[in-house]
């Protein structure tokens, strides 16, 4: 297998294997974990005091896409004896492209808890404090980009390549939150959490227009109007004719302890956030809930560069099919592409502050306590961003297996027409509470032959996997009888 095919296979596998979710694990709402307030700030654990230690108390890794899954990229050949990739000569690129949307989104997320604290106040009040480092991103890829990769530019002769849907953003920021929940009545409980946000590094692409016209002689005319906003330890260098020389990491900002401390503090890029929620006990066994989380923004003011590109550029197009056919090397194609892109855009660098809103979540839930051992939950979440509304519904069954150990099973459905099974376990030993949760678990796997010797094993049909794990320190009980044994905390 050629080098370019291996690289493209790796790229497609990375997009479809969402292993490191743009949404918080929904099963978290139905657990006796201090982190359940991340879904709804009205929720609280049965412990009267909890302490979250740096890093080990909360790690979340997510990456998902709204388009193809592994079964679309890797499929059985005509004989049914082996699995081939979409880049194999026996595959059907047209069938694959028919499944690609006009707007294809990849959403990576990761968070690490720096500190956590929660404690009871009075009869039923609860105060909680969180400090988390979070990474969030959105990458939007248009259909024509995949069509160009798999079928080349011949199909676009006499027409144009539409890249107007291309866009994205990236944010690395610190979140410091203070929250409080309490009972308004015997059955109604409300919670609220205010957050200060400190931006460490950010990037956003404002794509107003981006098209490439291709004439019958394969002469390309690129017409673009876009702005790339950057904030962070970046060094932008432009040539005298306003073409881009390079964008690099400014090592002087991260090689010294003082520079790194200033960068990681994020004190010059600030914002605010809000979580709010409520739960209501319709009966002693049946509870409903609603919440809005992560409503907020960050104003980026420090180390800002705005690269504005308004240009029309004519060039002879490069074609990745030349590499697949062996008429050009990867290096030759890469150099041609880099040279064309550098010359295509005339950039104008300014230093104006910019704002970015956070994707926010609307969550609705219901729980039914069948007994002290078994309970069920139904949770609906809508993740709303400027690119897309992602909706998920999850059914959860909770079981207190033995003393100090609870197990969770879940089934999720989303508007992306991919359904998943999830599972989790929470165990307590002394003051230590261990947990491992995932809403997305691959059940079927395929072995893909990379070459005659090497192979990899991948999920057969999925585009998302998420994981949350950690260790909490917990002390005492609330004293409320209904919180002592129920698997689901109201």
CA 154 distance to own-chain centroid: 35
Q: What is the pLDDT averaged over residues 244-271?
A: 72
- Dihedral sign for Cα 215, 221, 222, 225, please: negative
**Which of residues 104 and 282 earns the better pLDDT score?**
282
pLDDT band, very low/low/confident/very high, at 352 (cuts 50, 70, 90)? confident
User: Could you tell me the two tokens for 171?
Assistant: 């944010």
- pLDDT higher at 342 or 237: 237
Longest CA span, the chain: 79
Residue with tokens 């005298």: 240
Quote the pLDDT of residue 268.
Answer: 84
Query: Could you tell me the two tokens for 134?
Result: 């979070």
- Non-local (6+) Cβ contacts of 52 within 8 A are 34, 58, 113, 115, 116, 117, 130, 470, 472, 473
User: In terms of pLDDT, which residue wins out, 190 or 158?
Assistant: 190
| pLDDT score of 277 | 96
First-to-final CA distance of the chain: 56
pLDDT at 15 over 50: no
- For every residue of 321-340, DSSP letters joined together read HHHHTTSS-HHHHHHHHHHH
pLDDT in the model for residue 17: 36
Strand, helix or coil for residue 366? strand
Summarize pLDDT for 449-470 with one digit per residue, the tens.
655 666 666 665 555 667 788 9
pLDDT over 70 percentage in the chain? 69
pLDDT in tens, 394-411: 888 888 877 888 888 888
SS3 call for 341:
helix
Question: Looking at residue 489, what is its pLDDT?
Answer: 38
Question: CA-CA distance, 319 to 326, in Å (whole number)?
Answer: 12
CA 242, 243, 244, 245 dihedral sign is negative
Query: Which of 57-66, 169-178, 196-205, 335-344 is predicted with the least confidence, judged by mean pLDDT?
Result: 335-344
pLDDT at 350 (0 to 100): 80
Residue 197 in this model has a pLDDT that exceeds 90: yes
**Out of 58-62, 259-263, 436-440, least confident range:** 259-263
Strands of 143-187, DSSP E: 159-162, 167-183
Residue 456 tokens read as 């990899």
Q: Which is higher by pLDDT, 338 or 175?
A: 175
Residue 36 is classified by DSSP as G
Give the pLDDT score at 482.
43
Q: How far is CA 43 from CA 129, 216, 336, 428, in A?
A: 14, 63, 56, 19
What is residue 292's predicted lDDT score, i.e. its pLDDT? 97
pLDDT of 253-266, one tens digit each? 666 666 666 666 66
In this structure, are residues 319 and 332 in contact, taking their beta carbons and an 8 Å threshold? no
* DSSP H helix total and E strand total for the chain: 7, 26
Q: What is the mean pLDDT of residues 89-114?
A: 78
- Segment 219-243 shows an average pLDDT of 80
Cα-based angle 127, 481, 181 (whole degrees, multiple of 5): 20
- 205 Cβ contact list (under 8 Å, min separation 6): 166, 167, 168, 169, 226, 227, 228, 229
The DSSP line for 422-464 is EEEEEEEETTEEEEEEEEEE---EEEEESSSS-EEEEESS-SE
The set of residues, in sequence order, having a beta carbon less than 8 Å from that of 331 and lying 6+ positions away, is none
pLDDT for the residue 366: 92
Joined together, the tokens standing for residue 222 give 């690129």
For residue 315, what are its two tokens?
Answer: 């060039």
- Helix or strand (DSSP H, E) at 16: helix 3-16
- Residue 45: both structure tokens together: 């654990």
pLDDT of 483 above 60:
no
pLDDT value at position 309?
78
Is the pLDDT at 53 greater than 60? The verdict is yes
| pLDDT band at residue 20 using 50, 70 and 90 as cut-offs | very low
Per DSSP, the three-state class of 95 is helix
* Mean pLDDT along residues 75-97: 62
Q: What percent of the chain has pLDDT over 90?
A: 26
- Distance, in Å, from the CA atom of 232 to the CA atom of 269, rounded to the nearest integer, reads 10
Per-residue pLDDT, 418 = 56
User: In the predicted model, is pLDDT for residue 3 greater than 60?
Assistant: no
Residue with more model confidence, 130 or 159: 130
Least confident of 68-72, 102-106, 299-303, 473-477: 68-72
Q: How confident is the model at residue 434 (pLDDT cuts 50, 70, 90)?
A: very high
Would you say residue 52 has pLDDT above 60?
A: yes
């Amino acid at each position: 297998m050629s080098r370019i095919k291996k690289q493209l296979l790796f790229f497609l596998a990375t997009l479809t294997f969402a292993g490191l979710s743009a949404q918080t694990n929904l099963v978290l709402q139905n657990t006796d974990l201090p982190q359940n307030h991340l879904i709804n700030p009205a929720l609280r654990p049965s412990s009267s005091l909890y302490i979250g230690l740096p890093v080990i108390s909360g790690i979340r890794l997510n990456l998902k896409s709204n388009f193809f899954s592994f079964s679309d990229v890797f499929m059985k050949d005509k004989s049914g004896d082996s699995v081939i990739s979409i880049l194999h000569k026996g595959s059907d690129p047209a069938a694959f492209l028919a499944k690609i949307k006009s707007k294809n989104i990849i959403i990576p997320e990761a968070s690490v808890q720096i500190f956590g604290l929660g404690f009871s106040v009075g009869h039923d009040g609860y105060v909680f404090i969180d400090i988390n480092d979070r990474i969030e991103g959105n990458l939007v890829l248009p259909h024509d980009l995949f069509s160009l990769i798999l079928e080349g530019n011949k199909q676009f002769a006499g027409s144009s390549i539409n890249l107007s849907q291309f866009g994205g953003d990236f944010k690395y920021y610190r979140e410091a939150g203070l929250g409080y929940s309490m009972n308004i009545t015997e059955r109604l409980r409300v919670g609220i959490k205010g957050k200060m946000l400190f931006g460490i590094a950010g990037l956003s692409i404002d794509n107003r227009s981006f098209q490439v016209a291709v004439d019958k002689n394969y002469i390309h005319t690129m017409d673009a109007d876009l702005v790339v906003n950057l904030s962070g330890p970046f060094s932008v260098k432009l040539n005298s004719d306003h073409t881009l020389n390079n964008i690099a990491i400014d090592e002087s900002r991260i090689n010294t302890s003082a520079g790194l401390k200033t960068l990681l503090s994020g004190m010059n890029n600030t914002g605010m956030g809000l979580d709010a929620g409520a739960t209501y006990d319709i009966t002693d066994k049946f509870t409903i809930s609603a919440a809005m989380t992560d409503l907020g923004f960050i104003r980026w003011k420090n180390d800002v560069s705005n690269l504005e590109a308004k240009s029309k550029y004519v060039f002879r197009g490069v074609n990745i099919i030349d590499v697949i056919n062996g008429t050009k090397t990867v290096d030759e194609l890469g150099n041609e592409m880099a040279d064309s892109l550098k010359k295509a855009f005339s950039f104008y660098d300014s230093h104006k502050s910019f704002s970015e809103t956070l994707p926010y979540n609307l969550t609705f839930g219901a729980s039914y306590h069948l007994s002290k051992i078994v309970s069920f939950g139904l949770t609906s979440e809508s993740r709303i961003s400027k690119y897309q509304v992602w909706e998920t519904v999850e059914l959860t069954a909770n079981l207190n297996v033995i003393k100090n150990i609870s197990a969770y099973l879940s089934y999720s459905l989303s508007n992306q027409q991919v359904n998943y099974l999830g599972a989790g376990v929470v165990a307590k030993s002394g003051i230590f509470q261990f947990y491992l949760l995932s809403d997305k678990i691959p059940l079927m796997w395929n072995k893909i032959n990379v070459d005659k010797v090497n192979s990899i094993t991948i999920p057969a049909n999925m585009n998302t996997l998420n994981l949350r794990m950690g260790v909490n320190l917990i002390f005492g009980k609330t004293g409320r009888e209904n919180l002592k044994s129920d698997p689901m905390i109201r």
